[in-house]
């Protein structure tokens, strides 16, 4: 079977909406894919402000924003379709939305961006609310990317995504385990903004600084790192706990960036050690893969484990998550498992996602 699908992702780094139009083929249970077109649609100042403040909205304001963001996404996807002349070529849209609240211990996760609004504007089938079923089954609802890693990149034994939050996936026999490691770009970008930068390009500012041992030790002692998987992080952990902790230190922004990069690399290396990962290749994607300084630190810390850090081509670095969302949407359409219990700790693996039909 061949599927032509659009996958979308709005990550915790808040840089914009990733849209990837992909072709998938499944033959005898083996999947292959190709990224045909991909764009990142940046958020305008209004949406940047809204997304930064949205956790403070009351119930009515939140639901109005949910509808408005869905309409904005639908219009952005429709423009993408028209720009790349994809009319009548798309079978399905899979929309992750933008995570606002993620409280799996309370049985709740909420991604902004009404799937019905997207379907109404594009007049295409839309799969949304991808994490909700897993959370309802007692799972963490995250990470959900490992289903794609299992089917699309089976040649790797270890995966690392460095986005707003860094997360790791490890192949263990026929199963995959995965979980959030630590805050990453969400905090780094907040620090870079103090230098009037959107982000620290290549980690140059961080590289020019020096690590602060006292701050580094305090970061490494955070309680989250003492818990075993399955576990996941909300954006608030980086924004409300890690960032204020860093701000308490009267050191330069460059020193703060340097120390945070060191912290990220240490926490990733700790997880590699904890699972005795050795002699394998680690595929690294997400915006953090472009932070040359951070990747250099990580490579140094993984030498003893003989773990080779592989940074792929730009399309895969930027759009891997959107590609996997597209696959998750296809699996939902086929009514096949798309969230793994071995990853999230749910009672069972599940077929997740709400399906909205854009036309009769």
Compute the radius of gyration of the chain from its Cα atoms: 20
**Mean pLDDT calculated for residue range 203-221:** 98
- Predicted pLDDT at 360: 67
**Mean pLDDT calculated for residue range 317-344:** 95
| Cα 145-149-154 angle, rounded to 5 deg | 170
CB 51 within 8 A of CB 68: no
CB 203 within 8 A of CB 261: yes
**Mean pLDDT calculated for residue range 163-169:** 92
The helix (H) or strand (E) run that includes residue 64 is helix 59-83
Name which of 332, 316, 322, 233 is nearest 6 in CA terms: 322
Handedness of CA 292, 295, 300, 303 (dihedral sign): negative
pLDDT at 166 exceeding the cut of 80: yes
Q: Tokens representing 19? A: 């849209």
Q: Tokens representing 97? A: 């939305």
Name which of 215, 212, 213, 195 is nearest 204 in CA terms: 195
**Alpha-carbon distance 23 to 315, whole Å?**
14
pLDDT digits over 131-141, tens only? 999 999 999 99
The answer as to CATH 3.30.420.40 being correct for domain 2-140+319-356 is yes
E strand residue ranges, 202-338? 280-285, 307-310
- Predicted pLDDT at 234: 80
pLDDT at 11 exceeding the cut of 80: no
Percent of the chain residues past pLDDT 70, beyond the cut: 99
Q: Where in the chain is the domain with CATH 3.30.420.40?
A: 2-140+319-356, 146-316
- Predicted pLDDT at 13: 63
The structure tokens 């077929």 sit at 351
**Mean pLDDT calculated for residue range 93-104:** 94
**Alpha-carbon distance 360 to 346, whole Å?**
34
**Alpha-carbon distance 286 to 253, whole Å?**
23
Q: CATH number for the 146-316 domain, one of 3.90.1150.10, 3.40.47.40, 3.60.40.10, 3.30.420.40?
A: 3.30.420.40
Name which of 12, 16, 23, 78 is nearest 326 in CA terms: 23
**Mean pLDDT calculated for residue range 67-96:** 97
Q: How confident is the model at residue 172 (pLDDT cuts 50, 70, 90)?
A: confident
Q: Which residues contact 302 (CB under 8 A, 6 or more apart)?
A: 269, 272, 282, 309
pLDDT digits over 236-288, tens only? 899 999 999 999 999 999 999 999 999 999 999 999 999 999 999 999 998 99
**Mean pLDDT calculated for residue range 70-92:** 97
pLDDT digits over 103-125, tens only? 999 999 999 999 999 999 999 99
Using the CB atoms, write b or e for 200-223: b if 16+ within 10 Å: beebebbbebebbeebbebbeebe
Average pLDDT across the chain, whole number: 94
**Mean pLDDT calculated for residue range 155-177:** 89
- Predicted pLDDT at 176: 85
- Other CB atoms within 10 Å distance of the CB of residue 315: 13
- Predicted pLDDT at 12: 65
Q: Which residues contact 150 (CB under 8 A, 6 or more apart)?
A: 171, 176, 340
Q: Tokens representing 346? A: 């749910």
């Amino acid at each position: 079977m061949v599927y032509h699908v659009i996958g979308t992702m709005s990550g915790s780094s808040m840089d914009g909406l990733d849209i990837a139009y992909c072709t998938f083929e499944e033959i005898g249970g083996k999947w292959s894919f190709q990224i045909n077109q991909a764009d990142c649609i940046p958020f305008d100042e209004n949406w940047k402000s809204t997304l930064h403040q949205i956790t403070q909205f009351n119930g009515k304001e939140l639901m109005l924003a949910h509808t408005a963001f869905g309409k904005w996404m639908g219009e952005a996807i429709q423009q993408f379709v028209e720009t790349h002349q994809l009319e009548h070529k798309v079978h399905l849209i899979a929309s992750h939305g933008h995570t606002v609240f993620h409280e799996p211990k309370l049985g709740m996760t909420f991604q902004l961006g009404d799937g019905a609004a997207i379907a109404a504007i594009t007049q295409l089938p839309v799969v949304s609310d991808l994490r909700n079923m897993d959370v309802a089954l007692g799972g963490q609802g995250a990470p959900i990317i490992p289903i794609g890693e299992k089917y699309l990149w089976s040649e790797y034994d270890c995966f690392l995504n460095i986005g707003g939050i860094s997360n790791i996936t490890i192949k263990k026999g026929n199963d995959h385990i995965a979980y959030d490691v630590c805050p990453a770009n969400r905090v780094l970008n907040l620090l870079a903004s103090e230098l009037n930068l959107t982000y620290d390009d290549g980690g140059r500012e961080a590289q020019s600084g020096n690590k602060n041992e006292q701050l580094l030790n305090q970061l490494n002692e955070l309680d989250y790192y003492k818990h075993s998987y399955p576990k996941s992080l909300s954006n608030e952990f980086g924004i409300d706990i890690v960032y204020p902790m860093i701000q308490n230190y009267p050191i330069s922004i460059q020193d703060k960036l340097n120390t945070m990069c060191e912290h990220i690399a240490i926490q990733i290396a700790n997880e590699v050690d904890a699972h005795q990962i050795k002699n394998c290749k680690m595929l690294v994607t997400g915006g953090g893969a472009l932070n040359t300084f951070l990747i250099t630190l990580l490579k140094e810390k993984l030498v003893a484990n003989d773990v080779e850090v592989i940074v792929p081509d730009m399309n895969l670095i930027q759009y891997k998550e959107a590609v996997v969302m597209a696959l998750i949407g296809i699996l939902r359409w086929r009514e096949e498992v798309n969230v793994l219990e071995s990853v999230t700790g749910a009672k069972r693996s599940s077929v997740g996602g709400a399906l909205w039909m854009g036309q009769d």
